[in-house]
Homo-oligomer: A and B are copies of this chain.
């Protein structure tokens, strides 16, 4: 454990995106961390106010381009760069630097699967084998020893926290996982797209990437790993929907109970697995998770419900996609990697309404 007087020096790559901004917001309140540089190539030279006015006035450094980043001045970098770019940049960094990657670049372990879903070969396959999948509650020990952590996608975070304890314990059928997912618009990032214009996304609901979302193979990989079966053995239904809200992600799992198992068994398993977790909260019986319960926080709320079809159950989990689904979990991982109290800088209660 590091000395409490010594600060972790952090750099944020891709600070002009939403995950970069969220990392800044959280680290600004971290008593053991100092933000040393922020990169944003197209915004290089600009003060934070020009990129994120809400973060102006906090003494953050101006944006710089990634090729001028003083790597030797930091202990850890958070990477919020576009997919693909990350691999090349991380490969070029000093090997002493800890890296917490928020992109998808190191999430998929099998290079062929990566290439299939991301459209190009992996540019740093050697680093891939070093990367640890950063779902803190599940991989805490490995994360503690990792140099490179690949933070999960936002959807996989909620899905795996909700489903993996149950598939691992054999309580539900791993071959009949129907996941109906819903996300706010920040999940699509700050890039300019017609579908995320207020005029288009507002007052409406849009399913997208049906059976073709890149988070599906990531979910399948992790469930398969936990069951020690080949990734190809697990196929999940995954249908995401764009909801007219900025933050928040909720997944509705329509699952089949294993023979003889009940909803109470599932609740008991959650209580056992998550009873001591600071950020995962099993709601009281019958209480329905909503994204409103976690906004701005690193919390995940979940619960399980009877279904009208005998032998089936409905599982619901909600997170803030930018916090537990991204930068919050990244800070949580940093805390683990540096031996700090895991909740540091993440204690803020949710913002409602």
The contact of A199 among B176, B196, B287, by CB within 8 Å, is B196
Q: Is A204 an interface residue (CB 8 A)?
A: yes
* Chain B residues within 8 Å of A52, by CB: 352
Copies of this chain assembled into the complex: 4
* Chain B residues within 8 Å of A44, by CB: none
Contact B180 A190, beta carbon cutoff 8 Å: no
Please report which residues of chain A, range 4-63, place their CB below 8 angstroms from some CB of chain B when the two chains form the complex: 18, 21, 24-25, 28-29, 49, 52-58
Q: Is A130 an interface residue (CB 8 A)?
A: no
Stretch at the interface among A87-95, A107-115, A153-161, A246-254: A246-254
Contact A192 B193, beta carbon cutoff 8 Å: yes
Stretch at the interface among A74-82, A120-128, A132-140, A309-317: A309-317
* Chain B residues within 8 Å of A289, by CB: 207
Stretch at the interface among A98-106, A143-151, A236-244, A330-338: A236-244
**Which residues of A are at the interface with B, using a C-beta cutoff of 8 A?**
18, 21, 24-25, 28-29, 49, 52-58, 175-176, 178, 180, 182, 184-186, 188, 190, 192-194, 196-208, 210-211, 216, 235-239, 241, 243-248, 250, 252, 254, 281, 283-284, 287-297, 299, 301, 305-310, 312, 314, 316, 318, 347-353
A-B contact pairs, 14 of them (CB 8 A): A29-B348, A54-B295, A54-B352, A56-B281, A178-B309, A192-B192, A198-B201, A199-B246, A203-B246, A205-B245, A205-B248, A207-B289, A236-B308, A239-B314
